Structure 1
Amino acid sequence: MGQVRPGAVVGTLAVAVLAVGCTGDGEPAPPVERAVSTGGGAVLSGSEVAQRYGYDPAAEDLTPVYALVPEFHSLDDGYARDLLGSACLDGVVVYRAVAPRAQAGSVDQRTGQLVFDVEIAAERGYPFLRPDAGEPEALGGVPAEVEISTEIYEQMVACGRQADQRLGTAPERLLNEIETGGWDRVGHDPRVAAAVDAWRACMAPVGVVDLPQDINEMPTPSVLGGLVRDPMAGDPDLPLSERERAVAVADATCRDDVGYAEVVHVVRAEAELEMIGRSIEAFDAVREEYRAYQAGLEQVIVELG
């Protein structure tokens, strides 16, 4: 892994409709304050939580909320809702339910993180600047050429409500708060700040005149020939210059050399473990709720997939 960012998986508009219903200056990192109330129950330390579940941050690719709750942000959720939507909209409008891919373009569909390494950089520069739309037949939802009338839209909303009634709501609130708390820690931990400083030193010979303090602000306008990019938008027609390619390769190489992604992962994992320990009974309850929720998704997929 190279570039790592928080963020939810981005779905199609149709899917969204159907789903309606210590610091860098050396000071110690502040505690994570987003922990959910324990309700007076047991409180465990982060190390005790890791031992309880057999979780080793250095050996795991995923942070605790994803590794310990495999059903969290399961791709089966959107697929099951699409299957229900497709059946509900039969005779109203074509709605394709397509089995999800674990990775679409440069985005891990479950965690919402961008995937960026030397090989990707050499081939595509900064790939998130040019999202891959994919082949039309691989895209779910209503075909792009279909005009959605008011009547169709209202029926889509109604079908979304029916899906909600069938599947319920994912018990994700606690896990979302824990995941966010892990990302919050990244912005304050001296180990991350040190990794960014090492990355900047590694990048110095590349000659990026506006090299940012925040590693996630790459690529900068100078790399893109003066263009100011919107990190939330992409342009599949944006040309890939040799300058961007060269900088992207150097960027990915330096991130690997300083172990940036690994440091971020460990910091997030430690923070998540602390938060889980302060809400351990609620966390165990959510794990059980997610198992039941996942069973409902799998039942729909067996019936309609």
Structure 2
Amino acid sequence: MSAPLVSRAERIAKRITIGVVAAIVATVIAIGIPNKVPYRLDDLPEKNRAAWTMPLDVYLAPGYTRESYAQALLVQPCLAQAGYTGYTVPWRDIDAASLALDRVPIRAFDLSVAQKRGYHIANSDDPGQASWDDYTNRYYSEIPDRVREKCEAATGLDFESQTYDGFRANDLVNRLSNAAFLDARTDDKVQATVPAWRQCMSIAGYTDAGESPADMPTPDMAYDYSTTDPTTPVSKSEKEVAMTDATCRDTSGYLDALYEAEWDRQLTLPRDLAGILLKVDTRRLAEHKAKIDEILSTMTPPRPS
């Protein structure tokens, strides 16, 4: 087959296009890549240091663990109406399950954490996992597809974390948030509060504390208190030093400075990365998160005794 004829006009247009592209490339080389130009976020939440609310939080969807459990709770009445009455959603520790299965940004250590678990890492063991696995196996193997699909559609619940844009945004928010937190600890204003924190700890009798709050607990403390094993008990001495540490972080100004430093670092990001976040409908996402929270708080069955 002979090649298609190319008109003179098309050849001229092609040369013009090549020239324009070359001019654009030259301009980019001269002034820098536009996608790397900093972009300042303007869709911001209200500051709340106690909750450690950050600018990127508005783009973070609930994890799949929370969304799927909420949907199961909503689907249950529909299944019963369809005649499938033996399918009761079991209790599960959804916070622990989310911590184990979904990525979450780093948050600062403060008095609320110290009072709850000392220096121990948060418990990610969901005692209801086995019952949940049994339920989902039966749900997908015993209930006809048409019934499941009808009941799931009737909930009107979308999985925002599993959309293409939502998944990319969640991954990006976690990576950027954690990087901002770690870098904020090196900020000059944060470092300026460290001597006051050390003095506070020394006055309280903890002369063996780390050089800065970022070094707490020290390796010896972590070993003695088994802080990496959430199943071990929190001793009285661990809680005392943890609460003193948290109080000193507060009174020294460390937490205030750290919060502001991380906030500032989250405000600006390269334009190409901002483009990923700007595809998220933050108002719709906020409504979705509120809906998920309400379902979980009002419909989660009681923990078995």
Q: Is residue 72 from structure 1 mapped to residue 81 from structure 2 by the alignment?
A: no
Q: Is residue 84 from structure 1 mapped to residue 81 from structure 2 by the alignment?
A: no
Q: Is residue 129 from structure 1 mapped to residue 120 from structure 2 by the alignment?
A: yes
Task: Please tell me whether Structure 1 or Structure 2 has the larger radius of gyration of its CA atoms.
Answer: 2
| Matched position secondary structure for 1:65 | helix
> In 1, distance between residues paired with 2:43 and 2:282?
17
Residue pair 1:196, 1:215 contacting (<8 A) in 2 also = yes
Matched residue count: 235
Which structure 2 residues correspond to residues 37-48 of structure 1 after superposition, within 5 A?
40=34, 43-44=37-38, 46=40
Residue number in structure 1 paired with 2:193: 195
Q: CA deviation at 1:301?
A: 7.8
Residue pair 1:80, 1:300 contacting (<8 A) in 2 also = no
> In 1, distance between residues paired with 2:234 and 2:133?
29
> In 1, distance between residues paired with 2:285 and 2:45?
23
Residue pair 1:80, 1:301 contacting (<8 A) in 2 also = no
Q: Is residue 291 from structure 1 mapped to residue 248 from structure 2 by the alignment?
A: no
Given candidates 48, 63, 71, the residue that maps to 2:54 is 63
Deviates more, 1:191-200 or 1:88-97: 88-97
Residue number in structure 2 paired with 1:269: 263
Gap regions ≥5 residues in structure 1: 1-37
Q: CA deviation at 1:268?
A: 1.0
Residue pair 1:130, 1:235 contacting (<8 A) in 2 also = no
Q: 1:278 and 1:199, CA in 2 relative to 1: closer, same or farther beyond 3 A?
A: farther
CA RMSD, aligned part only? 5.2
Residue pair 1:72, 1:290 contacting (<8 A) in 2 also = no
| Matched position secondary structure for 1:62 | coil
Which structure 2 residues correspond to residues 233-244 of structure 1 after superposition, within 5 A?
233-241=229-237, 244=238
Residue number in structure 1 paired with 2:3: none
Q: 1:125 and 1:246, CA in 2 relative to 1: closer, same or farther beyond 3 A?
A: farther
Residue pair 1:195, 1:258 contacting (<8 A) in 2 also = yes
Gap regions ≥5 residues in structure 2: 1-31, 144-148, 300-305
Given candidates 213, 225, 229, the residue that maps to 2:211 is 213
Q: Percent identity?
A: 17
| Matched position secondary structure for 2:71 | helix
> In 2, distance between residues paired with 1:39 and 1:290?
31
Q: 1:210 and 1:157, CA in 2 relative to 1: closer, same or farther beyond 3 A?
A: farther
Residue number in structure 1 paired with 2:226: 229
Q: CA deviation at 1:74?
A: 3.5
Residue pair 2:181, 2:262 contacting (<8 A) in 1 also = yes
> In 2, distance between residues paired with 1:299 and 1:61?
20
